[in-house]
Structure formats: structure tokens, C-alpha cells
Amino acid sequence: MIIEGPIVRLRRVRRARPLSLAELASSLERRASAFSGDAAAMLRAQAMMARDPVLHDRLAGLIAAGRPFEQALAEAAASFGVSHQDVGELVRDALYEPASTPHPGYAYVLVADSLSVADMMRVDPAEVLGVVTAEGGPTSHAAILARSMGIPYLSGYAVSPELDVIRLELPDPSPVGIAPQRVPLLANISSPADLALAQQTGAEGVGLLRTEFYTDYASVAAAFEGKPIVVRVLDSGARDLGGRDLGGRDLGGRDENPLGVRGIRYLRARPSLLDAQLASLSGMSVSVMAPMVSTVDEARWFRARCARFGITDVGVMIEVPAAALCADEILAEVDFASIGTNDLTQFTLAADRQIGALSSYQDASHPAVLRLVEFVADAGRRLGKPVSVCGEAAADPALASVLIGLGVTSMSVAPAAIPAMRRALWGLGALGEGA
Amino acid sequence: MDVMVVVKESLHARPAAVFVQAVLDSGQAVGIARPGGAAADARSILSVLALDIRSGERVVLSGGSRDVLDRLAGVLA
């Protein structure tokens, strides 16, 4: 992988007034909420250090003894004898800030002596081709954050001040890929935090918008303008209907019964709910799909309902084995299918995924599940219609490679899983340019 | 009240943060030490990191109620 571009150097200036530890802590906590996984855990750990009661006591003691704040902070931090990057970063972020947030308006390679989490948070992943630092290693906080943002990060190299442009050849498989992908990597979105993270990690669209949890369609459309956005209409169960349909008939089954009135079955019992949702999606450039479809008739009904609202790109979730086995007939009625491997696995193995004792059955790599996936992917290929996967299986890099081999045309995963997936796909050659 | 536990994962920043958060959530003043060593304030992540506890080492938790110490031992084990 080659990173090439103009250099922008990060410079720091002393703050007019040092930040207090409490200010540093709240700013780290705010940032943590926009991330998940390693990056969030690391930001929380760092915030915890800024709130450390023993550090505060020692700082107060040194200030009371007449030390200036800067010296007191450095001494108090050093008193733990922890040669820990977090402590150093805290002290530096308290005293210094970047001279300016680099937004030159073109793609660049960021060069710095060292980068803190705060520095890394300021850059726009869309503009940064890569990062080179003299200090820090692959496990530094800034490096972890860069990975989660999809930015290649190289540490341990001092860049000559005379250089204006840099060309780096990184070993393959590259730590992080930034090239367009042959198998698009999309994000599953259930919250505003997911949306923010999906943008940071460079998702190529939204493969599954879970509207039970998040319905700010305008924000999603603005964030991923010009990219695929797949909205799954309300995926809910009979419990939410008070157990009865519009005619007052008992819909039956216990709460959350996986074999009960759920998904499109529920929407057919309450079509006004679906209509209201379709009306609010009308006129937006999004695709819409129905959950838990099991018959051709349901697919046809859903397509017709969407057509009333001028929605033309219509798909179905394939989660029920019956739908997988009738993929040709169902795909003939709609424009695309998305395989939900979690439910497909629970239904294929007849094992309720809520029951802990049956967790070993929740294995999407079971040959029966993979055969169903292959069956659906084959039908998609025959009919020229895309077949994506949006279950947990898509986020398992090893299984994802199998799914791609079976003919799946795109993957949608939790935003936090995107960097790891991108690395795995890069290794497979499933990404674009390097492939 | 002391509880001894064999630490499963070295107490680097992130595992230490999980442990310290559990201590803070308990609302009790808990100490952590190597057997026979001086106890550090387990509410202080920097003090915990300074101990540099590695995977497989034994540590002694002290100062809290039996319930809390057992729960914290569970976090480390």
C-alpha cells in the first residue's frame, strides 16, 4: 500500500491558560461517547487518570507548597513512577494545544513529533491520507484512534523538515486500507453515536438502519449523501401491539416469541404504522427493506405498499429458511435481499438465541446456514440482484471471507467493526485498487 | 477483611480502568497490594498502574466489605 501526498505538520503552542484536570477529564469523556471498542475504553481510562483522586491530592499539595501549576502537574504526574504515555499526554494537553486545526482543504499526510488523542480527534479522516510520527508506537492511543478512524499510522520515523511531499510504502496487508472496496463495507446504525462512528471509520454507506431505535432519516441522509442507505422498516413484535391486531384479534404467542407475529407479519396486522413510516421516507433517496419475510406474497405486498409512496428500491431481509429456499421467487419480486445471519441461524438450527444454554447453536458458520447463504447469493447472481449480509457473521473477518466467497456482494457491520473488517478484506484482496 | 486473587490479565491501562471503575462504583475505600506489600488506593488508577501487576500474580484486596471484595476479585480473576 502506498501513501503519497503533501505534508502538513502539526505544531503546538502553549495555552494562554492551562486546562484543569477536570476540564481535561470532561473533554475526554465527551469524546469517548462518540467511539466504541478499544478507542472508547482508552479514552475512558485516560479520563479516569485525569480524575485520579491521589493525583489531585498530590497536585493540591504541591501547589499549596508554592509550586507553579505547570511544575506541580508535571511533578505530581511523575510521582507515580509510571512511565505511562497517558500521564505525559495529560500534562501536555493541559499546557499545549495545536497551533491550528489542520484543514487545508486537500488530502494530506499529517506529520508530527507525537500525537495525543486530542490531536487525533481534531483531524478529518476524509482529508488525512496517513499519519507519520517520530514518537509513539503502534499501540499508542493516537494509533488506536487512527485505526478506528481508518487512517494508516506509521510511528518511529522523523520526517526531514525540508520535505514538502512524502511517499510511503507500507507493508501489505496494510494495517488499514483506504482504497475503494470491491466488496463495499457498510454500517449498521441504531443511534446517533453509531452514525458519527460510521462516518469516522469511513463506512461506504448504511446497510441497515434499525428504525426501532433511530429514525432521524434526515441526519442519516445528510451524513451519507450520494451513498447507499438501506432503511429497514419497523422490526417489532406482537407485544408492542398489546398482543392484538386492529380488529382486536389475539395475535397469540408469548412476548418476543421469535416464531410469533414479528417483522412484516406485525406490519401487515397494523398497515397504518408502515404507511406512516413509508410516508416519511417518501422522496428521500434511500432503499427500504422489510424484516422477517417468509413468503413470496409478503414480498409482493411490501413492494406494492412501497410503490404507493413512490419508493422504488425495495428489498427484503432473508432471515427465515423458507425465504432463503425461495430466494429466486422472492428476489423476482424485489430489487435486493439482505441476509440477517442472526435470525437465519436461530431459525435454521431451531435454537432460540435468547436462551443462553443454546448459545453454541448460534453459529452462523454451521454448514446449513452457509448453504442457505450460498443459495440466496446464487439466486441474486442469476437475477442480477445484490445480496448483502448484515448479521454478526459479517463482522467476523474469517467468516466474512467465506461469505464473500459464497457470492455476497456487500457487508454491513457495526461501525466499530469496520476497521478490523477493512484490514481483513484487504488481506483477502477483496478491496479495490490493491486487489 | 482481605481477599487474595490471582490476576488473569496484566493491569495495563484499560483492564486497570475496568477494575478501578468497579471500585468507584462500590463507593468503598479499597486497597490493592502484593502479598506483604504496601496497599495502594484502588480508587486511583495511577496508583494501581504504578504497582505494575502482571498476569498470574497474586494480589490482596483489603478494606471493603466481604461482598464488595468478592465482586472485585471476580473482576480481576
Which residues have CB under 8 Å from B77's CB, separation 6+? B5, B6, B7, B8
User: What pLDDT, on a 0 to 100 scale, did the predictor assign at position A431?
Assistant: 46
DSSP H or E stretch at residue A5: strand A2-9
CB contact under 8 Å between B14 and A52, yes or no, is: no
Q: Which residue has the higher pLDDT, A83 or B44?
A: B44
Q: In this predicted structure, what is the pLDDT of residue A305?
A: 96
Ranges in chain A, pLDDT < 70 = 1, 83-86, 100-102, 137-139, 170-182, 237-256, 394, 424-435
What is the pLDDT at residue A253?
46
CA gap A380, A372 in Å, rounded: 12
Contact B47 A86 (CB under 8 A): no
State whether CATH 3.20.20.60 applies to domain A185-428.
yes
Residues of A designated catalytic? 141, 390
Domain spans, chain B: 2-76
pTM: 0.51
Q: Which of A82, A87, A140 to mutate to test the interface with B (most CBs of B within 10 A)?
A: A82
| The three grid cell numbers given for residue A51, joined into one nine-digit string | 480524575
Confidence at residue A322, expressed as pLDDT on a 0 to 100 scale: 97
Question: What was the pLDDT predicted at A177?
Answer: 34
Q: Which residue of B has its CA nearest to A80?
A: B50
Here the ipTM equals: 0.94
Contact list in A for residue B43 (CB cut-off 8 A) is 53-54
For A286-413, list the strands marked E by DSSP: 287-290, 314-318, 336-339, 387-389, 410-413
Provide residues of A within 8 Å CB-CB of chain B: 38, 41-42, 44-46, 48-49, 52-55, 77, 80-82, 84, 86-87
Q: Do B16 and A46 touch (CB under 8 A)?
A: no
Residue pLDDT, tens place only, A266-299: 899 889 989 999 999 999 999 999 999 999 999 9
Fold observed for domain B2-76: Histidine-containing Protein; Chain: A; (3.30.1340)
CA dihedral A60, A61, A62, A66 (to 10 degrees): 90
CB pairs under 8 A between A and B: 47
- pLDDT the model gives residue A332: 96
Q: What is the structure's pLDDT at B47?
A: 94
Of residues B57, B53, B49, B70, the one with CA closest to residue A86: B49
> What's the confidence (pLDDT) of residue A166?
85
- In chain A, CATH 3.20.20.60 covers 185-428
Render the burial of A355-392: b for 16+ CB within 10 Å, e for the rest.
eeeeeebbebeeeebbebbbbbbebbeeeebbbbbbbb
* pLDDT value for A228: 95
| Residues A412 and A392 sit within 8 Å (Cβ to Cβ) | no
